[in-house]
Each structure stands twice: as structure tokens, then as C-alpha cells.
Amino acid sequence: MTSAPSSPAPGVGTAALKLVDRKAGSPTGAWRPGDEPGNRRFVEIGDLPLESGEVLPDTHLAFETWGALTPERDNAVLVLHALTGDSHVTGEAGPGHPAAGWWNAVVGPGRAIDTDRYYVVAANILGGCQGSTGPSSTAPDGRPWGSRFPWLTTRDAVEAETRLADALGIGTFHLVIGASLGGHRAIEWAVSHPERVRNLALVATGASTTADQLAWCHLQELAIVGDPFFFDGDYYSHPIGPVRGLGLARALAHTTYRSAAELDARFGRAHQGQEDPAVGGRYQIESYLDYHAGKLLARFDANTYLIVNHSMMVHDVGSGRGGIPAALDAVTARALVIDIDSDRLFPAAQAAELAQAIPGARRETVHSLHGHDGFLIEAEQMNAILRSFLEGPENGARADA
């Protein structure tokens, strides 16, 4: 993996797109349990030019859909997941999906993003480990990509997603919505392909990555590459991979997903069990972080974490476009910006920057003790805000138009 420059991505054609069925067995290798695809499907998007100037060969994306596309093809919604999310936005746990949909509270029948009304599309990000081409996928030489997998950017991921849209026959999305790192891709969609985004919802995200966010990303990267079982990214043939490093990266990240006030209110200095931490026991907050680290180990690949984390680090929608204000001024979609008042990972100033620079954008704030994860937890507020936006009289037209 080598550093990727920030020059604009080459143009991508749509010639060799095809939807394929892939039966049991993950295409992503050693650190995924074997899974049945469930309602996952795969699109082969061929050789994909990257911002770095490299070409990723034989590329595919895993995706899921819910609802029905209208004959006019005007009701498609693209939902873009965060760092360790996947295509399973809504639905029950089952084959290939160890957990229920990550946004069940917002996407589904009768919810703000109503699958009885909209044709909802969600893909596993390029570089992912839930079916899309990533570091644990098989390279052309028959071995896992491992350390040879190229670094990716937000623009690379979006160009792959445009090929998925082409394969599904979707020229314009009624709504593109993303939260956190998914919001990075949503912004990029609206700037790179304004004609393909009618409504835009940016949730707990930013136009570029701040120094504070870079610092947290770097610490997570160090945790993984410092694991003695990382083997420079080529651990797939070894019986043990960098599980301790990946778990530590997740624990570090999780502290940024919750607010200090919530952690103190929930755990304070309470002990786990009866033994005093002063004589070898543990605090409840330690057990909590270890629990979330362990959950990720069952479903995620360390190299994918590095690749996607890196795409977050280099994200800057204004790069090569004259800066952020100039880039966001080109957005033609009707836009909604949502921030969370206790979010310490994506602070309110980033939402303000987006709302001020996107013409006619509307801004709403979710009030929560839960920090960044409030977009997942505060279902009532999220549904109310999104319903008001989607069902308002200006639906499909920019507020300043």
C-alpha cells in the first residue's frame, strides 16, 4: 500500500457492468466467517481507475436493495455506511449478517426512509470486507491482495458506486444520504455528480478531515500496524492475525463515538464485579470497550480498516476544486445537514461549514447525550428530521431555487 495523491480521478466508463450471483463463501478471505449471501448481490465493475493513477482490476461491489424501483426510476435512495458499517442497512440478522441492520430505526417500512415507498440501495464500500473488492480479496495471481492492495480515496469509492448505479439503471438518486464517513461519500457524490443527486442528507460529517480527526485516525493505524501478527499486511496465510491491534483500534475509535458525559453517567468509576481495580480488578468502562473491540473482530479485516481509515484521512472535497467553498457551491441538490450537539468526533463547526457553503442548505441538530452515535440511537429525532425534509413542499427543489 503506497500513499495516494490527491489529483482528480480519471474518467470511468460503464462498459462491462454486470450483476452476478455468488453463492456461499466470502470472496474476502481469511478473516471473514463463511457466509451465505442472503439478499446480497454483487456487481462486477471491471477495471477501476483510481486517483493514485493505479487501476484496480476485476473489481466488484457487494450491495443490497429493498423496495421496488418505479417505472420512471425516480424513487431510488442511496444509503452510505460509516467506517465499519456494511450494506446491511435494515433487516434481521441471518446468513451472512451476524447482526440486524445498522439503521433499522430509520430505514424500513413506515420509517423516514420508507422501503414501501423508496427503492433503497446500499453497497459495501470499495476496499471493504463484506463482499466488495478489498485487501483480503483474491488478486489476479490467486493470492490475497494483502499489502499490495492500493490506497483508496473517497472519490475512488464514489466512482465504484456510480458503476453500481449504472448497473441498476439508476440515472439520478432521489436521495443520497450518508453518516460519518458515509457522509464523506455523500458530499463527494453531490459535487462529482450533481446531476445524479436530487436530494442530499449529510449526517454527522464534514467537508474535510480535521487535524483532530487525523490524530485519532493515526492512533488507530498505529495500533494495527504495531501488532506483532500484522506481518506488514500479509497475515492471511498465518494462523493468527492482528486481532489485538484491530481490537485496540476499535476501542480507540469507540471513545470518539460516545460523549464524555455519557460515559461518565453510564460508568463513572464503577467496578466490574467485586474486585477493586486497585488490587487487580477492572473498571466497567474497560469491560465496555473490550466488548466493542471483540464484536468487531468477528466480522472485520484489519487491512480493510487501514484502507478505509486512510480514505477518511485524505478526504477533502475541495481538493483540486479551488477549496471547500468553491466545491460546495457547485452542489445543485436540495440539501439537509444534520449534526449532533454532543458529537466530539464531528463537531458542530463542520456542520456549520457545510450548511453555509451549500446553496440553500437546511441545518438541523439532534440533541443527545450519546455523542457521534446519536445518529444511530436517537431514532425519533432522526425520523422526524428526515420526514420533514423528504415530505416538505420543496421536495426535489433547492430552497434557494
Residue numbers annotated as active site: 180, 343, 372
* Contact criterion met (CB below 8 Å) for 88 and 62: no
Distance CA 8, CA 51 (A): 6
* Contact criterion met (CB below 8 Å) for 165 and 173: yes
Question: Cβ-count burial of 309 within 10 angstroms (0-12 exposed, 13-18 middle, 19+ buried)?
Answer: buried
Q: How far is CA 160 from CA 157, 204, 234, 333, 334, in A?
A: 5, 23, 25, 21, 24
Residues across the chain: 401
What contacts 86, CB < 8 A, 6 or more positions away? 102, 124, 128, 130
SS3 39: coil
| DSSP 8-class letter at 195 | G
Query: Cell 436517537 appears where?
Result: 378
Distance CA 312, CA 306 (A): 10
* Contact criterion met (CB below 8 Å) for 22 and 62: no
Name the CA dihedral angle for 297, 300, 305, 308, rounded to a multiple of 10 degrees: -150
Query: DSSP letter string over 325-338?
Result: HHHHHT--SEEEEE
Distance CA 296, CA 318 (A): 32
Q: Which residues of 235-249 are buried (b: 16+ CB within 10 A; e: fewer)?
A: bbeeeebbbbbbbbb
The residue type at 163: R
Sheet strands (E) in 155-250: 173-179, 197-203
